[in-house]
Structures are given as C-alpha cells and as structure tokens.
Amino acid sequence: MEKDIAESPKIPSNNINSSKAGKAVYPILIAISISHLLNDTLQSIIPAIYPVVKESFSLNFAQIGLITLTFQLAASIFQPFVGFYTDRKPKPFSLAIGMGFTLIGLILLSVAPSFEFLIFSVGLVGIGSSIFHPEASRVAHMASGGRRGMAQSVFQLGGNFGSSIGPLLAALIIVPYGQLNIVWFSALAILAIFILFNIGKWYQRKVKIKARRPSVEHNIFHNLSQKKVFISVGILMVLIFSKYIYLVSMTSYYTFYMIHKFGASVQDSQVYLFIFLFAITAGTIIGGPLGDRIGRKYVIWGSILGVAPFSLLLPHMNLFWTVILTIPIGVILASAFSAILVYAQELFPGKVGMISGLFFGYAFGLAGIGSALLGSLADRTSIEYVYQICAYLPLIGLITAFLPNIGKD
C-alpha cells in the first residue's frame, strides 16, 4: 500500500531509492520525538508513584502488579488494531486525540479516592498510549527519508528520555507533596496535544500528496518465503519477551529492590531508577543508525545477549556496584527495540502501522503481564529472588542466530 512509503515533501520522484531519499524531515522527526518524550514522561509517572500509592492505599505487590497490568493491557490491546486500521485509512489527528485520553487519565489519577478508581485512571492513560504509538511510529517512518533505523532511534530516544525523567520529576513533585500534585503534569499533556495537532497537519498534507501518486511502489527488502517470515516474527517476539520481562523487573520493582535490600529512601530509590532509565536513553540512539550501517540482526544479537554478563552479576553486588551495573545494562538493552521494529517492518513492507502497533502492543502487554506475575512472585518469595530469576532472561538472546539475513543483515 502506498500509504506507508517514507517520503520527504521535497522529493519529486516516486522512487524511494533515489539519491534524495536520504533527506529526512528532521523538524518532524524532532517534533514527534519530543511528543514521545512528553507521552512517556506521563506514562512513567505511574510506576514512579508506586511507593506513594502503596502506602496511601495499603497495597501489596500483587496489587501493584495489577496496576501495571491494567495500564499495559490498555496500552497494548488496541495498538495492532489502530495500526491495521490506519494503514488503510490514515487518521492524522488521532495523535492529538490519544493524548486527550492521557490528559483525562492524569487528572483523574491525581484525585483517585480508591484502588478501583486508580485502576480506571491508569487504564485511560494506557488507551491514550495505544492510540499514540502506531501513528507516531508511522510519522517517524514517513519522515525518515529512507533511513528507517535512524528515524526509529530518534523517535525512541524521546520516549526513553521521557521515561527516565518521569521518576525524577515524581521524586521532586509527587513523593514529597502527595498524589494530588500529579495534576501539574497535565500541562505536559496539553503541550503534547498542541505539538501533535501541528504534526497532524503535516501528516494530512502527506496523505493528500500520496493520494495523488498512486503509482508509488514499495521497496522489497527480502525474498523470504511466508514460512520463514512468520518464523522470523516468532523469534522477534521471543526476543521482545526476553527484553521486556527483564525491563519490567527494573522499571516496576527496582525502587522496591533498592529500598528492601539496601535500605535506600524512597527519593534515593527514584534517583537510582532515573540513572538506569537515563542509561536506556543514552543507548537508544545507537541501535537504529548502527542497524542501518552494519545490519539489524547484529545489533539485535549484541543488544540482548550482551546484557547477560551484567544481569547475572547484578543480584550479587553491593549498592555502589548495583547502580554502576545498571548503566551498561540500560545502554546495551536500549539498542534492541529500534532494530527489532525496523527488522519486522522490513519483513512486511507496507504494513508500518500494523507492525508498529503489533510490536509496541505486544511489548506493553508483556510488560503488564510480567509485572503482575513478578509482583505475585515477590509476595510469595522476596524482591531479591525476583532479580535472581530475571538475571537469566537475556540468555534467550542466543536464538537471534536463527534470524535470516535480510538487507545488510
């Protein structure tokens, strides 16, 4: 389908392989990255306030996991359907509408009087995320000028940076002053709506241009059989499982781990979480451009399997070395998702929205289920035991060897 071909507005030719195809639309890439930053800053407030709501609502770890499960399922279930629908019928202003759901969810979260109301509020934030990610990923693809890995890394950079500063802002604003102060973050949602509305206008012009160019054709990235394509998708799904279950053990329970094992204060634990999430931000920009240059398969291999030595050491370290080890873990792990997503998009040319929604949705869904299961495990054993078990997950990266070579891979 013509909708999904990356195309710069200054490109007169329909051939994406032309010399001008490398001219990415950087103002749009930066704008969508900033929007991703704001979206994921708001999302990251949810796990960042867990110590606050755990005390105020007298929650156990299983209930904390249920909050994450609700949010992640709401953020995941709709994504493939949004992507599939907008592959056929682009909706440029759905980005701003999705952020509207997030805005409402945040306001309700700030005044939630009960655990059930808390669940409902985070569900609305999750729905906003499910609308945002497939279409935002498509915008990055359209503005890439053919440099898809670079564009996805720029897009992910904003999201990961937002995820890293959310806990820090929560430590400064919410932890000392209480749940009601979540409402101040609604200003970020309003700013995001403004930016996304203007991106929507650019996106709408692109749709009109493409409608006048029905002869545009897709790049064909491979000649794999349908069986090999679906086997490859299965391998990628398993790798996402490895990455995101380990990642959720850090994002949802790292603060509790630092408090329980080392006696850290709530605010100090938020700073330690910020260090880990900032390391993810620093590593994000590496994976996409490196995949464009040397091949995505090698980036995927190194990113997931490369974490294993550090993850295996982490549960046995003191406070200082625990904090230090989270830095290479974050940097190395971060490079995987952009490479995996673009690899999957190249397996299914023309299905950018559906594939983006499928992989973002699957990742978020796994994170939610994993958080609930890990919370239940922590209640039955200990938070330290959870980290000892999760340390082995990156070894699943060995199955990357079975991915076929496509493009530069």
Q: Could you write out the three-class secondary structure of 60-108?
A: CHHHHHHHHHHHHHHHHCCHHHHHHHHHHCCCCCHHHHHHHHHHHHHHH
Mean pLDDT, rounded, for 193-218: 78
Mean pLDDT, residues 93-100? 92
Cβ partners under 8 Å of residue 404, min gap 6: 222, 224, 228, 232
Q: What is the mean pLDDT of residues 63-76?
A: 82
How many degrees, rounded to 5, is the angle at CA 141 between CA 149 and CA 124? 105
pLDDT confidence of residue 296: 74
In this prediction, residue 222 carries a pLDDT of 61
Residue 202: alpha-carbon gap to chain centroid: 24
Q: What is the sign, positive or negative, of the torsion defined by CA atoms of 96, 97, 102, 104?
A: positive
Does the pLDDT value for residue 96 go beyond 90?
yes
The Cα–Cα gap between 281 and 77 comes to 26
- C-alpha to C-alpha distance for 36 and 42, rounded to whole angstroms: 10
CATH class of 23-402: mainly alpha
> Burial letters for 82-100: b for 16+ Cβ neighbours within 10 Å, e otherwise?
bbbbbbeebbbebbbbbbb
What whole-number distance in Å separates Cα of residue 111 and Cα of residue 92? 32
Top-confidence range, 95-109, 351-365, 392-406: 95-109
Gap between the Cα atoms of 55 and 51, Å rounded = 6
pLDDT of amino acid 24: 79
Q: What is the mean pLDDT of residues 259-281?
A: 86
Whether the pLDDT of residue 8 is over 90: the answer is no
pLDDT at 408: 52
> Tens of pLDDT along 290-340?
767 777 777 887 777 788 899 999 999 999 999 999 999 988 887 777 778
pLDDT above 50: residue 177: yes
**Domain map of the chain by residue range?**
23-402
- For residues 7 and 16, give the distance between their C-alpha atoms in angstroms, rounded to a whole number: 7
User: How far is C-alpha 99 from the chain's CA centre?
Assistant: 16
User: Taking 50 as the threshold, does the pLDDT of residue 10 lie above it?
Assistant: no
Average pLDDT over residues 373-382: 88
Angle between helices 26-48 and 226-262 (to 10 degrees): 50
Q: What is the CA radius of gyration of the chain?
A: 20
What's the pLDDT score for residue 5?
35
How far is residue 207 CA from its own chain's centroid?
A: 26
What span, in angstroms and rounded, lies between the C-alpha atoms of 280 and 93? 30
Task: Evaluate if residue 218 carries a pLDDT over 50.
Answer: no
* Predicted structure pTM score: 0.67
**259: exposed, middle or buried (C-beta count within 10 Å: 0-12, 13-18, 19+)?**
middle
pLDDT above 90 covers a percentage of the chain that reads 23
49, 33 Cβ separation under 8 angstroms: no
Instruction: Report the C-alpha gap between 130 and 357 in whole angstroms.
Output: 8
Per the structure block, which two tokens stand in for 4? 């999904």
Q: What is the mean pLDDT of the chain?
A: 81
Closest CA to 390 of 373, 407, 405: 373
